Structure 1
Amino acid sequence: MADEFFALQKQGTWELVPPPISGSVLGSKWTYRTKYNSDGSVARFKARLVAQGNQQEFGLDYQETFSPVAKLPTIRILFTIALFHSWNVHQLDVSNAFLHGDINETVYMRQPKGFEDSAQPTHVCRLRKAIYGLRQAPRQWYTTFTTYLLQIGFQHSQSDPSLLILHRDKLQIYLLVYVDDILLTGNDNNKMKELIEHMKHKFTMKDLGLAHQFLGIKIASTPDKYFLSQTNYANSILQIAELHKCNSVANPSFSKPPDQHSEDAPCFDELLYRKIIGSLQYLTLTRPDIAYAVNALSQHMHKPEVVHTVMLKKLLRYIKGTLEFGLPISRSSLQLRTYSDADWASDPVTRKSTSGFCTFLGDTLVSWTVKKQNTVSRSYTESEYRALASATADTIWIKRLIKDFSIDHKQPVDVFCDNTSTIALANNPVFHARTKHIEIDQRFVREHILNNTIRLLPISTVDQLADILTKPLATARFKLLRNKLTIGPRSSA
C-alpha cells in the first residue's frame, strides 16, 4: 500500500483542496490481489487504490469511455509473422498505467484510508491524472500512450488501432498494446532496445524480456515454434467447479441430448453456472476445440436448466483430460486459407442456424468463430451462404491486417465450402425470388470473387475443418478434426 501511495504521489496524481461546496466527491478504496507466475508460484502481493467510479455521472464527471484493445487474432498473427522472420517478441508491462493519463474533467475523490494528511484531514483530492476505477481512465491512458508513439514516428494500423507500426527505410517495428501489456517485435533488435529505453524515460515501464506470458496465456517458445496454453487457468476453473479430481472424458459435447428427469438436481446453481461459462469463454482463446460447446452453453446463462448443467459437467470433464492442450504457432508459409460451414436450423427452439469458420495463416490457426445466426434461414444453402459472407468479411480483414505487416498476399484467399449449391449461387449472376432475401450477402461475396480477393473452392464434408465449430460430433470424428486444427499437447505440437 505504501508503494502504491508513493507511486501516486510521484506521478502528481492529485492535489489536496478543500471540499467543494457543490459537486460530488467520489469514494476511494483499496483493493488487493495476489499475482502469480506462469508456473503457479506467487509473483507478488499487489495493493491498488481505486476511485469508486460507479458514483460518476455521464456528462458531468466523464464523457467518452471507449478504449480499443488488441484483437486476439492480431496477437496470433504477430507471433506467426515474427516466427516466420525469426524476429524476437519482447514483452513490456506499464506500472500504474492509468496514472499516466491526464483527465480533462474536474473530479474530486476522498483521501485514501490509512494515508490521510494529518494537517488537512478534511481536504479532498482533486485529480490531475486518471486513476484506476474512473470510467474514463482506460481511454485517457490509451490516448496518452498512442499520442506519444505517433509523435516519435509510429502509425496506427488501419485494421486494428491497437497495432502501431514504425516503417523507416528498411526498419520495421510493430507494437501491440492491450491496456498496460505491450508486445514489441521488429527486424532490428538494437533499435527496439533504444525504443524501450526511450519509453522507460517517459513511462514507468518494465521490460519483461522475451514474451513468455501474455494476458494469462503461457507462451512456450523454441527456435521454430511457439505454443500458447492456459493450463493453470483451466485448472482454476475446475477448482471453482470442484471437479479437479473428476474422471475425464474424450468428447466435450453430447452427440444427442442426455436423458433428464424433472426430479434431477442441477449439477451447478445458476450463479456458479454463469461464473464458469464466463471463465470458459476466456479459455477458448487457445482452445477452439471447446468453442462450440461453450457457445451452446452460453445461450442459456439467463436460465440454465438441469440438462445444461449436465452438459457443462461433461465439458469440464473433457477439459480435465486435456489440461495440457494448447495452440501451436509454427513456421511455415504465410498463405491464408479459410474454412466455412453452417449447421442448418440447429437450435430446436428458435430454429436459427449456427455459423462456424476458421482461418489459417500457413499451418497456424489464427482466427475462428462460432455464432448463432441472427435470422432464421429457410434452406441449408441460405444458412451456408450467411456463414460464407461472415467468413469472407473476416478473411478480408485478416488479409488487410497482414498487409500492415508488409505481407502482400497477391493471390486470392482460398475459401473452402462443402455446399455445392452455395458455391453455384456465389458464381451465378442470376437473382430470383428464392434468393432475393439474401441478396446483400450474395452481392458481397460475389464482388470479392470477381475482384480476386477470395477464391471459393469445394471441399468434401469429411474434410471440412469448420464442422467442429458448428455441431456436436462423434468422438472419432471430433478427434480427427481437432488434430487437423493442430490442437493438442505441447509434446505432440
Structure 2
Amino acid sequence: MVKIKEELLVTIKSKAKIKITMIEGNMLIKKMMRMDQFNVKIKDHTQECTKLSNGTISLTTSLGVEQALEDPDWLLAMQEELNNFKQNEVWSLVERPNQNVIGTKWVFRNKQDEHGVVTRNKARLVAQGFTQVEGLDFGETYAPVARLESIRILIAFATHHNFELYQMDVKSAFLSGPIQELLYVEQPPGFEDPKNPHHVYKLHKALYGLKQAPRAWYECLKDFLLKNGFEIGKADSTLFTRKFNDDLFAFCDEFSKIMTKRFEMSMMDELKFFLGFQIKQLKEGTFLCQTKYIQDMLKKFDMENAKPVNTPMTTKGHLDLYEEDKGKSIDQKVYRSMIGSLLYLCASWPDIMLSVCMCARFQANPKECHLVAVNRILRYLVHTPNLGLWYPKGSTFDLLGYSDSDYAGCKVDRKSTSGTCQFLGRSLVCWSSKKQTSVALSTAEAEYVAAGACCAQLL
C-alpha cells in the first residue's frame, strides 16, 4: 500500500467489476461497482490496488525493491520480466569471474494508452551501463533511429493511397539482440539464487541499459527483415519495404506470421499511438497530434492554469531575447528541460518552430527574459492544445517546397534565419527554421541560401 498525501485523480476504464479498498480515518471502506469509466479521487487516503478484468494494476511507481516484492501486482510484473529472460535465453548463471561485473537495477513504470489511462504495470530489469569500460565491455554503440520526416511521409503516403496503418510491438525487444562482447552482470536484486548467492550471470544477449543494446537489437532486426525479402531504405535505414502484389490484408497476416515466428509480439492493432503521437485514421484523412504530450508537459512545468495567448511570440519578441545584460540568471537545467520538451513537440507543431529555435540559442546562459519567452510559448499551447497536422485523402501527391528568410535578424552576429517547408500534395511532411551559417550581404542572398536549403531537403 502507498500513502498518497496530495490530491490525485485517476481515470480507469473497464467493463469488469472493480474492487476499491481505502482506509478513511479509522473506517475500512470496500465497494464493488461496475462501470465503463469512473474517476477515483484520493486525498490523504491509503489505496491498495485496482482490480481489472485482465489482472491487477497497482498505481504506485515510486517504490524500492523491498516494497515491490511485498506488492503482489509488482511481484507479478517482475516475474513476467524474468520469464522473458528465460524465454529469450538471455543469460546463464556462472561463477564470479576476475573481471568487471555490471550491476543490475529494477525500474517500475505504469504503461498508459493514448488517453493517459493506466493499462498495465511494467517492471524492467536494467543493467547499470555507466559502469561499463569502453574497449573492454563495449565497442560500437551507434544505432539509427527513425526520422520524424520518414514517419510523416509514411502516414501521408498511406493516407493518399487509402491504406490503413497497423502496428505491432516486440515484447522486450532488446533481449533478442545477441552481443559480441563477454559481459557479466549481478543477479537481480530480490531474486538471488539461494544455492549460489555469489554467482553472476553471463550474458548471451543484450540487456536494457547496456551501451551496445540498441545497436544489437537493430542489427538483429535488420538481418531478420533482409532475410525475409525486405529492402532497407536509402534515405532512412530504419524504414524497410517489401513489394507485395496481392491483397493488403493478406500481407498484414503474412507479416504477422513472419514476426511471431521469430519474436514474441503483441497483437496487431490499428495505429493510434506512436512515439508520443496520437494518430486518428478517419474516412476523410488522417489527423496527427500530440495533445496528451502537451498536457503532460504543461503539468510538468506547472503551466496548466496559465493565461492563454494567441501567438507563440510577440512581434518584436526576438529582439527582446538579445537583452542578455538585463534580468537575473535562471536555472539552466529547468530552462534546457523546457527547450527539449518543446523541440520534440515541434514534430507536429510547425508554428512554434521559429520561437522555440530562437529561445534554444540561449541555453548556455539563460536570463529572465528568455524564460518569459518560453513561458509565452507554453501559454500559446494552453490556448491551442488540440491542434495538429491534417493529411487529407483524395489530394494530389506532388512534391512542393516553400522557403523564406529574414535579413540579419540576429543582433549578435547579423546572420539571417531560413524557414522552409515541404508538402506532399496538401500534406505537410517536413519543415525547418535554422540560422544561416554565413552572413548574407543582401536580402536576395539570404533568400537564395534559404531556397538552397529547401531544395536540398526536397532532393
Greater fraction helix? 1
SS in 1 for 2:181: coil
**1:450-469 per-position Cα deviation (integer Å, ceiling 9, x unaligned):** xxxxxxxxxxxxxxxxxxxx
Are the counterparts in 1 of residues 171 and 265 from structure 2 also a CA contact under 8 Å?
A: yes
Cα distance in 2 between the residues matched to 1:146 and 1:383: 42
Structure 2 residue 111 is matched with structure 1 residue 17: no
Cα distance in 1 between the residues matched to 2:115 and 2:426: 28
Q: Which runs of 5+ in 1 are unaligned?
A: 172-186, 397-493
Q: Say how many residue pairs are matched.
A: 378
| 1:380-459 equivalent positions in 2, closer than 5 A | 380-396=443-459
* Residue in structure 1 matched with residue 368 of structure 2 by the alignment: 306
* Residue in structure 2 matched with residue 95 of structure 1 by the alignment: 171
Are the counterparts in 2 of residues 76 and 366 from structure 1 also a CA contact under 8 Å?
A: yes
* Residue in structure 2 matched with residue 434 of structure 1 by the alignment: none
Equivalent of residue 196 in structure 1, options 256, 260, 263: 256
* Residue in structure 1 matched with residue 424 of structure 2 by the alignment: 361
**1:218-266 per-position Cα deviation (integer Å, ceiling 9, x unaligned):** 0112112111111111111111221101110001012124598988667
SS in 2 for 1:94: coil
* Residue in structure 1 matched with residue 138 of structure 2 by the alignment: 62
Q: CA deviation at 1:209?
A: 0.8
* Residue in structure 2 matched with residue 244 of structure 1 by the alignment: 304
Cα distance in 2 between the residues matched to 1:383 and 1:207: 51
Equivalent of residue 195 in structure 2, options 111, 116, 119: 119
With the length of structure 2 as denominator, give the TM-score of the two structures: 0.79
Equivalent of residue 3 in structure 1, options 80, 83, 92: 80
Q: CA deviation at 1:270?
A: 2.5
* Residue in structure 1 matched with residue 226 of structure 2 by the alignment: 150
Q: 1:261 to 1:293 in 2, by over 3 A?
A: closer
SS in 2 for 1:206: coil
| 1:25-424 equivalent positions in 2, closer than 5 A | 25-168=101-244, 170=245, 188-257=248-317, 269-331=331-393, 332-396=395-459
With the length of structure 1 as denominator, give the TM-score of the two structures: 0.74
SS in 1 for 2:92: strand
* Residue in structure 2 matched with residue 409 of structure 1 by the alignment: none
* Residue in structure 2 matched with residue 422 of structure 1 by the alignment: none
Q: Percent identity?
A: 39
Amino acid at match of 1:215: L
Cα distance in 1 between the residues matched to 2:151 and 2:437: 28
Q: CA deviation at 1:361?
A: 0.3
Q: CA deviation at 1:370?
A: 1.1
Are the counterparts in 1 of residues 287 and 388 from structure 2 also a CA contact under 8 Å?
A: yes
Q: State the superposition RMSD in angstroms.
A: 1.7
Q: Which runs of 5+ in 2 are unaligned?
A: 1-77
SS in 1 for 2:195: coil
Runs of at least 4 residues of structure 1 off by over 4 A? 258-266
**1:292-331 per-position Cα deviation (integer Å, ceiling 9, x unaligned):** 1111111111111111011111111111000011111112
Cα distance in 2 between the residues matched to 1:48 and 1:334: 43
Q: CA deviation at 1:371?
A: 1.1
